[in-house]
Amino acid sequence: MAVAIERLGMKGKQDEKVTPMKVREKPGAFLRDIEEIRRRARQHIERGAVTEGYKADREAVIGILNEALATELVCVLRYKRHHYMASGIHAQAVADEFLEHAEEEQKHADLIAERITQLDGEPNFSPEGLQMRSHSEYVEGNSLVDMIREDLVAERIAIDSYSEIIRYLGNDDPTSRRVMEEILANEEEHAEELKTLLQSIATDEAQFTNLPRSGRSS
């Protein structure tokens, strides 16, 4: 290993003495490219992960990511509310599902906030205007079915807007795109789970309605 590092010229002072292996084998374009990349990396070192090769409109991406962050924060709040309300009406299985979603939305919010700071931006956690920045809404819902339906609507809005963001990012910011793709896949799972919950509640209700009167508990 030490030998390999030495030969790649990565061991401090060895740089001057040892010709990097790759360069010695393939002189030409690669050498110029790698030197240029190193030069640019040193030039704006204080900008962290944002290099001059970054092709997207950084300010626009930060703005879009802050909207996605607001969307996630509103989802956390809505799922938390639904979790406690469902617990109150003894629908424990659904309440557990809401809590799991709330925790996953919080993870999404953290991933997005982290990416914003990597882009030298500031994640907006301000409660002021949160609902305005968010793509999905905070709807409380009056019944268990209402709550699930509202969550499904919010997930579908997130799926649509995140797909749009992913298309916008394209190849200009592949790291932000990957973050959003990972989150999108999780939102699709959420939507699927909520759909299954709605269907199972509808089935239960249908079974209850079809029971002979003597078989119903009053």
Q: Which residues bind Fe ion (CB under 5 A)?
A: 72, 105, 108, 155, 187, 190
Shorter beta-carbon distance to Fe ion: residue 177 or 190? 190
Q: Which is nearer to Fe ion, 9 or 184 (CB)?
A: 184
Q: Which is nearer to Fe ion, 31 or 166 (CB)?
A: 166
Q: Classify residue 62 by burial, with Cβ atoms within 10 Å: 0-12, 13-18, 19+.
A: buried
> CB of residue 144 vs Fe ion: minimum separation in angstroms?
18
Q: How far is the CB of 203 from Fe ion (least distance, A)?
A: 24
In the complex, the smallest distance separating the C-beta of residue 60 from Fe ion, rounded to whole angstroms, is 21
Euclidean distance between CA atoms 204 and 115, whole angstroms = 43
CB of 159 to Fe ion, least distance (A): 9
Cβ-based nearer residue to Fe ion, 24 or 178? 178
Closer to Fe ion at the Cβ: 61 or 68? 68
CB of 183 to Fe ion, least distance (A): 6
